[in-house]
Amino acid sequence: VTRLVLKVDVDTYQGLCHGVPRLLECLAAQRVAASFFVAMGPDHSGRAVRRFFTQRGFTAKMVRSNAFRLYGLRSALYGTLLPGPQIARSAPECLRRIRGEGHELGVHGNDHVYWHDRLSRLPLDAVAGEVERALATFRELVGGEPEGFAAPGWQLSAAAITVLDRGPFVYQSSTRGSAPYRPRIGGVLGRIPEIPTTLPTLDERLGLGEDAVKAVDDLAARLRPDALEVLTVHAEVEGGACLGAFVRLLERLRERVRFQHLGDIARALDPAKLPVCEVVAGELPGRAGSVSCQEQARAGNGLRATQ
């Protein structure tokens, strides 16, 4: 049977305060457990929306036309014309509710937009500062230590690998790929496992111009039997304009998969037995800009064997 992780990224204030409660209701109704990753710091999504407008090409155009529908007007102004609210601090009860309802809660960086746009050029101490700020907020609002870190915008760097290996994280889910591995960038080899997102996201399918029904059918058809699949959903998207599609997706998948937490997967992995894979920048259909990807399996490197 296919094991499926629903990885819920919460990038914005809107996503935490409005998207998360809706998603929690859907998940409870369908008795599905998910792994949530919350951006702990300021909401600067207006700067991300500004980024959409400077990108060229067909995909950027599609993403742009979806952006306001998916994110709303207020979010589009945070960090530009309006000051950005502190995401986690605005709704600590939401964080506790995620855990209280049996879901996993991890960290999705501090300032999502800063990490997404700047990580490739950030030195080690700047990356460490972002991770420390996120951890301090998590400890204060939630208590204890998070097990998982999910990089904002699927952006990973050598500096980020080094910082995340210092703990307390036991795994990360920061790239797009096919199966768990140890990531290597520029000769820096990670210690903790990387469990990549394996499936396209709903907003990428919409970015290709598909309607929501077709997008859900395509996603359901992609599940590999007996594999581990990780589907990233966004609190702003599936918990907002695409809620109906998300419910439809859960209904389609519920009978066919076993839902798991990323933390449970991570604890069952032996890092010494995981393949080492380079992380490379790649472009994905329906997504503007590049993301960090697990380099495709070359023959005989054992990637399939880890399934």
Beta bridge partners of residue 281, listed in sequence order? 292
Report the nearest approach of Zn ion to the CB of residue 225 (Å): 29
Q: Given the complex with Zn ion, which of 157 and 303 has the nearer CB atom?
A: 157
DSSP E strands in the chain: the ranges are 2-10, 35-38, 104-107, 148-149, 171-172, 182-185, 188-189, 228-234, 257-259, 276-283, 290-294
Distance CA 77, CA 4 (A): 35
Roughly what angle, to the nearest 10 degrees, separates helices 20-29 and 92-100? Answer: 10
Report the nearest approach of Zn ion to the CB of residue 268 (Å): 26
Span of 2-10, 48-56, 82-90, 240-248 interacting with Zn ion by CB under 5 A: 2-10
Do 177 and 229 touch, CB atoms closer than 8 A? no
Amino acid identity of residue 216, one-letter, is V
The sign one gets for the Cα dihedral 298, 291, 186, 173 is negative
Pick from 4, 6, 7, 11 the residue near Zn ion by CB under 5 A.
11
Residue 236 contacts Zn ion per CB under 5 A: no
Residue 203 contacts Zn ion per CB under 5 A: no
Report the nearest approach of Zn ion to the CB of residue 154 (Å): 8
Amino acid identity of residue 263, one-letter, is G
Residue 9 contacts Zn ion per CB under 5 A: yes
Report the nearest approach of Zn ion to the CB of residue 287 (Å): 12
Binding track, positions 150-189, relative to Zn ion; x by CB under 5 A: --x-------------------------------------
Q: Given the complex with Zn ion, which of 239 and 257 has the nearer CB atom?
A: 239
What does DSSP assign to residue 200? -
Report the nearest approach of Zn ion to the CB of residue 71 (Å): 12
Span of 45-53, 123-131, 146-154, 242-250 interacting with Zn ion by CB under 5 A: 146-154
Binding site for Zn ion (CB under 5 A): 9, 11, 152
